[in-house]
Chain A
Amino acid sequence: MSPRRGNGGRIDRTRTIRFTFDGRPMTGHAGDTLASALLAGGVSLFGRSFKYHRPRGLLSAGVEEPNALVTVLRGEVREPNIPATTTEIHDGFTAVSQNRFPSLDFDVGAVNGLAGPLISAGFYYKTFMGPVLGPLKGTRFWMICERFIRRAAGLGRAGLAPDTARYERMNAFCDVLVVGSGPAGLMAASTAADSGARVILAELEPRLGGSANWSAETIDGTPASEWSAEAVRDLAGRDNVRLLPRTTVWGYYDDNTIAALERVADHKPAPAKGEPRHRHWTIRSQKVVLATGAFERPLVFPGNDRPGVMLASAAERYAREFGVVTGDKAVLFVNNDGAYAAAAGLREAGGTIAAIVDMRAEISAEARAIAAAAGCEHLTGHAVVGTEGGKALSGVKVQRFDAATRRLSGEPRHLDADCLLVSGGWSPAIHLASQAGTAPRWDDGLQAFLPPAPTQAWLGAGAFNGRFSTAQALAEGISAGLTAAAGKGRPAVAPAVGNAAPFSEPAPVFEVPAKGKAFVDFQHDVTAEDVRLAHREGFVSVEHLKRYTTLGMATDQGKTSNVPGLAIMAETLGKPIPEVGTTRFRPPFAPVSIGALAAERFGDIKPERLTPMHDWHADNGATLYAAGLWLRPQIYGLSGETVDQAYVREARIVREAAGIVDVSTLGKIAVQGPDAAEFLDRVYTNMFSTLPVNKARYGLMLREDGFVMDDGTTWRLGEHDFLMTTTTANAGKVMQHLEYFLDVVWPDLRVHVTSVTDQWAGAAIGGPKAREILAACVTGTAVDNAAMPFMGIVKGDIAGAPVTICRLSFSGEMAFEVYCGAGHGTHVWEALIEAGKPYGLVPYGLEALGTLRIEKGHVTGAEIDGRTTAHDLHLDWMLSKKKPFIGSAMLGREGLVSDERLSLVGLIARDNRPLNGGAHVVDYPDEERPRYSLGHLTAACYSPALGKHIALALIRGGKARHGTRAYISDPLRKRFGEVEIVSHHFFDPEGTRLHG
């Protein structure tokens, strides 16, 4: 007979869904999870365990599932380790089983099971070390072993094809976030909403309602599932409520910042237009109501992992929600009353109960009545001590058991069974509360950890609080909703619950002491014996237990195994459970797709910064180069030119005629106010208060610790008005540095700083023809030596656009920086290019810029690397003695004046071969075993001006070594050879060219 019997509340039997599992075409109904559909299709084997590759079936019907993990396929994209229990099928859905070879049914890895005693917990640490001597010494033997171990390790396989799905981030704000939509959550949400609060209700299942969906109870006189459906409809109709089904709240961060994952489109063949696959919610809520329910625990006994052994509540869910009957010869094995509801559920759906095995001697009349109605054998004071069958259950062995003394007695007897439904009590889902704060507390009656006292603004309700009856859940929901909404509404009256499910505290027994492999953590194959081994070896604290045995470290994070494992350790130690400790739950509550967390940054990690003239560069042959977030022209290559040929040509033309380079990326900061000059005197090592209006000066700034921070020119545009420029890389850092000093250190200074980097486009035009080119296009001002002396500033127009021009030079040529409003950037640039045509003007890129500056010995970020002093860079002349400045007090310390420091020199290759930045310099070359580095090359190029390969370097000895020889030592690029050490001012050291 097909397992699909009744018409579960969640499925629509009129709609058939076709999907594929392990290549086999299957069908299910709308509303089915992969687990329920496969179960309905007669599948009992769902997966293989991690270590022993044991066959495993379904344990649960929800997010706590340790066994039934599959890989979902979307074209080439693979989504591994997805619990079949949380995955909804749709037409075309495709999944495969994992961690098996060659097939799920026949897995050669199962041979590991035979070696069980050898590969008990911690065995890795004791072996695979290999010989102390010989070719396999050191780590070699281990690494050979490891190669085989890695081949066998792992669960699902990740894909290599880029994910094509879109992920999205959403921020939300509300007064009350309710997590969980069972009776407690629904009541909390509607009560809070009644009070006028803005409410978000998040539910990880597709259908809101929680346990009401699979309960035989009535609420307010109607079946619970109808009551919850009505409550949901009511909430959905309210403007102040947002419902988020398929949304797992997974992280509780500081200040009630809650992270949640909404699976928007996984249940559809394809996302709707504009819809992401997953949405990452950051919800900031004044109050949070945690109504997250509880997880049923399995019991630990030999053979408890055989396919067909399932949590009782899961069987009830499959029966009532999906109309899937897990057995016609079902045996229940329980230590509490609650599980009797499962027997009733299974029977109502058309299944048959063969026996109820209860380890307790005394049970309630209610439970007895259910057992009697089921007409099954009722074995109280008994325990299951073994299971039979292969990849499906065929029977169980039971034996008389005294729960008080934990003693088995009498002879085991056999019961035929096709499924075994277990219940070992319930663990409240306190994960989010634990993330939010302190340690949970143990309740001896419930044999469970209950939520800690709140350290953030949350309230709990229902099973989360250890209140397991629906009536309690409804009442607590109302009270939590009311409190969370700041008590503005009137308390509702809790609806009456009929046909209430039985409930009792469980017998305090987690393990049946029978011989055989009894599993605690199913996925990781941690047995009760492993826990005891950990104890024998001294790994007794809960964290040691976890780490030594890997208990609770699997994809389910121990939702069903932590407490049983802890209980077994406690019993072995002879201590109460809370003394063994509790583990702190950490985000995420359940695994979260990495794509969702990256959200819009997936495929677009950082913005690109483009200069105003970017399109012109792209249209005119520039090769673009990433410089931080900026894209800048590297070269403007002619056809057939290499990068080297292009930059040499560009640099040569700058020195022979003229070149123009886009310098819009330089940091630009307006420093304004009556005390601006005084401020700059304090920030820069040199004096700016003496700078006349319409002049610029090169400035150097240090960090507080005395090391060089940045350099650049600052222009005095007015008495109280300066324009500071910084290096491209440090623009943000310098801005923050200035703001810090104005806000924190010198709040009395009347200065305002504004970043204007993006407001101005800049072009530097340099070369012997530069002035003539400017003269040809600038109107409104003269550009001759009188109007524009070195470092002079003028304002004028180019092609009708206002420009500010400063005569300053990085290239060492007569040069000008032309700034205009960013919107005019391309216009002015094109006008300059046009004006330059008769003079042979070329645009040049970063490579040529670098070449020109190396020839001049100017420093950039390669030399100002955060470890160099002004002295190292021969910039001591810029350190004013007339005033203190940031860093001045720290300059005299021994480490900053030591002779051992590296300082700046120039190098010329004696062998006329290219040099590389990052090469080192030595006195004694040794290609086999390089040593005694004197320092390193910061930048290198071919100098067209000198006709030589040159470099800047930071080396010990510095200036004192001018005129001596040394050797390049670059073992990484196998470049060795002799160099001459010279001044870093290679070209035109007197600066005659820039003065024209």
Chain B
Amino acid sequence: MAEYSALSILKNALSGNRHWKPAWRKPDPKPSYDVIVIGGGGHGLSTAYYLAKEHGITNVAVLEKGYLGSGNVGRNTTAVRSNYLLPENIRFYEQSMKLWENLSHDLNYNVMFSQRGVLNLAHTPAQLDDYARRGNAMRHLDADAELMTPEQIARLVPGIDMSRSARFPIVGGLMQRRAGTARHDAVAWGYARGADRRGVDILENCAVTGFLREGDRVVGVATTRGEIRAKKVAVAVAGSTGHVLRMAGIERLPIESHVLQAFVSESLKPFLDTVVTFGMGHFYMGQSDKGGLVYGGDLDGYNSYAQRGGLPIVEEVMSEMLALFPSLAPVRVLRSWGGVCDMSMDGSPIITTGPLPGMYLNCGWCYGGFKATPISGWCFAWTIAKNAPHELNASFTLDRFHRGLVIDDKGQGATPRLH
């Protein structure tokens, strides 16, 4: 398949763009594979890509029940960052950042990773100390972080309310300059194309309806496109994890599914060149290259698989936006949508072998899934190939909750809606 480049665009333009080929094939399922990855979202596709690229395992199928990338990889607010508090998370997400930094080249697909910075605003000196703790933790693990003064913030973020009389005046912020945003759909498409080019079969409209078992062992899946056997079956279906694992007889998991809404405004001339978060509530916003303000806030806060949220959060998010940007009141929200998040019991993910022989599990992404897409697939591929976790995901086990080895970045305990 042709490389994408300025030259290929020019050549194709001259021939009326009639010779572009599909970005990935649409093959029929084979009877068996070395590895089946259930879930054609960002994580499933990147897992397949790294299985092929890093481990030479190319006899792989990715099974997607709908269209590729129909889950949260196409429903998030596109932020990429590694500004976590706890070392397990910082190491993991920082390694993801390093993969992001070269991802467009690696995939020969422009995922538009723009390192325009993520700024967490602090509204009291105590909060700024909290952010300093976080930023220092990052710096001790080779992630970049710096504190910003109100004057620097005022220069960086036009229209932000820096007045001292604001209800929650801004006293500073924590900036990660290497953080930023990426074009979310392109990540799914780029990984799909990359995996496909290495021989991976991507099977869309192929819903898993059951697991094939030999004793305890998982040896394949039943799907709407027939039975498919595999030596290894990997599950990467965040948002539907409970639903899929129930087919394997696993009734309980340390996960609740919650709906998270996101919003985009009408297109505006770009003025916000960084991602900003509010410190006295839960609000984050960036501006896309098309000009839409992309923003979100809290979960709706109850178990849901509905991909639709309610009005209270809409109102909450808008009011938090205007607390920071009072000039945006006349701007109009264009679209809202909901995604279903796997909320784990400590806010951190699970990437592990098991829970059944022949099975591998990747889930529990809470808010963090999109930014983890490269490293999640990379680590999951490693775990599948070697039957053991890489050190980067060694802590993200399924049994850590019972053992008390939680990785609780927000310190909220086993109340998923608060993570």
Contacts and interface: CB of A to CB of B under 8 A. Distances in A.
B159 interface: yes
Interface stretch (A10-18, A702-710, A714-722, A872-880): A702-710
A885 interface: no
Interface stretch (A331-339, A498-506, A888-896): A888-896
Given A163-B326, A536-B18, A598-B322, A158 B112 contact: no
B54 interface: no
For chain B, which range describes its interface: under 10, 10 to 19, 20 to 34, or 35 or more residues? 35 or more
B141 interface: yes
B315 A601 contact: yes
A787 interface: no
Contacts of B413: 703-705, 707, 866
B333 interface: yes
Nearest to A628: B280
Contacts of A322: none
A118 B290 CA distance: 18
A158 B326 contact: no
B270 A599 contact: no
A603 B326 contact: yes
A597 to B, nearest CB: 4
B326 A602 contact: yes
Given A81-B332, A163-B329, A893 B101 contact: no
Given A150-B273, A920-B136, A933-B140, A893 B402 contact: yes
Interface stretch (B30-38, B102-110, B356-364): B102-110
Nearest to A931: B140
A251 B333 CA distance: 12
Contact of A127 (B67, B100, B110, B319): B110
B86 to A, nearest CB: 8
A544 interface: yes
B74 A894 contact: no
Nearest to A120: B17
Contacts of B20: 533, 536-537
B168 A78 contact: no
B26 A538 contact: yes
Contacts of A139: 100-101, 104, 113-115
A744 interface: no
Nearest to A887: B413
A552 to B, nearest CB: 10
Interface string A94-111: 000000000000000000
Interface in A157-178: 157-163, 165, 167, 169
Interface in A56-110: 74, 77-81
Contacts of B67: 541, 543-544
A129 B311 contact: no
B192 to A, nearest CB: 9
B303 interface: no
A254 B333 CA distance: 20
B146 A550 contact: no
B269 A257 contact: no
B405 interface: yes
B101 A153 contact: no
A120 B110 contact: no
A969 B114 CA distance: 30
A159 B402 contact: no
A253 B21 contact: no
B351 interface: no
Given A117-B17, A602-B319, A707-B413, A253 B329 contact: no
A831 B123 CA distance: 35
Interface in B115-154: 115-116, 123-124, 126, 128-137, 139-142, 145-147
A706 B14 CA distance: 68
B311 A125 contact: no
A163 B336 contact: no
A254 to B, nearest CB: 6
Contacts of B133: 917-920, 936-937
A741 interface: no
B74 A933 contact: no
Nearest to B321: A594
A626 interface: yes
Contacts of B132: 916-919, 970, 972-973
Contacts of B161: 162
A98 to B, nearest CB: 8
B137 A159 contact: no
A253 B268 contact: no
A629 to B, nearest CB: 9
Nearest to A117: B13
Given A602-B319, A605-B320, A543 B74 contact: yes
Contacts of A704: 413-414
A321 B114 CA distance: 49
B70 to A, nearest CB: 6
A126 interface: yes
B315 A123 contact: no
B215 interface: no
A127 B168 contact: no
A663 interface: no
Contacts of B135: 918, 972
Interface string A101-144: 00000000000000001101001111111001000011100110
A640 B414 CA distance: 49
B110 A160 contact: no
A586 B328 CA distance: 22
Interface in A904-939: 916-920, 922, 929-933, 936-937
Interface in A585-619: 586-588, 591-595, 597-599, 601-606, 608
Interface in B1-35: 4-6, 8-10, 13-14, 16-18, 20-24, 26
Interface in A527-547: 529, 533, 536-539, 541, 543-544, 547
Contacts of B405: 894-895, 898
Contacts of A539: 23
Contacts of A160: 158-159, 271, 327
B371 to A, nearest CB: 14
Contacts of A423: none
B265 interface: yes
Contacts of B199: none
A151 B335 CA distance: 23
B289 A149 contact: yes
Kindly name the residue among A128, A151, A867, A893 whose own CB sees the greatest number of chain B CB atoms within 10 A.
Answer: A867
Given A160-B159, A253-B310, A536-B20, A931 B141 contact: yes
Contacts of B253: none
A555 interface: yes
B112 A142 contact: yes
Given A595-B322, A894-B403, A80 B137 contact: no
A971 B134 CA distance: 12
A138 B178 CA distance: 11
B332 A591 contact: yes
Contacts of B114: 139, 142-143, 146
Report, nearest first, the 9 A-B pairs whose CB atoms are least far apart.
A866-B411, A895-B404, A595-B329, A154-B291, A918-B132, A538-B22, A893-B404, A591-B332, A917-B129
14 contacts: A126-B109, A127-B9, A129-B108, A139-B114, A150-B273, A155-B267, A158-B271, A163-B328, A165-B329, A541-B67, A543-B70, A548-B185, A972-B132, A972-B135
Interface of A: 50, 74, 77-81, 117-118, 120, 123-129, 132, 137-139, 142-143, 146, 149-151, 153-163, 165, 167, 169, 251, 253-254, 257, 259, 280, 282, 435, 529, 533, 536-539, 541, 543-544, 547-548, 550, 554-555, 557, 586-588, 591-595, 597-599, 601-606, 608, 625-627, 703-707, 862, 865-867, 890, 893-896, 898, 916-920, 922, 929-933, 936-937, 969-973
Given A599-B319, A919-B136, A972-B132, 18 more contacts: A126-B4, A129-B4, A129-B105, A146-B112, A150-B289, A163-B328, A165-B329, A169-B315, A548-B189, A591-B333, A594-B318, A595-B322, A627-B124, A704-B414, A894-B404, A898-B405, A918-B135, A970-B132
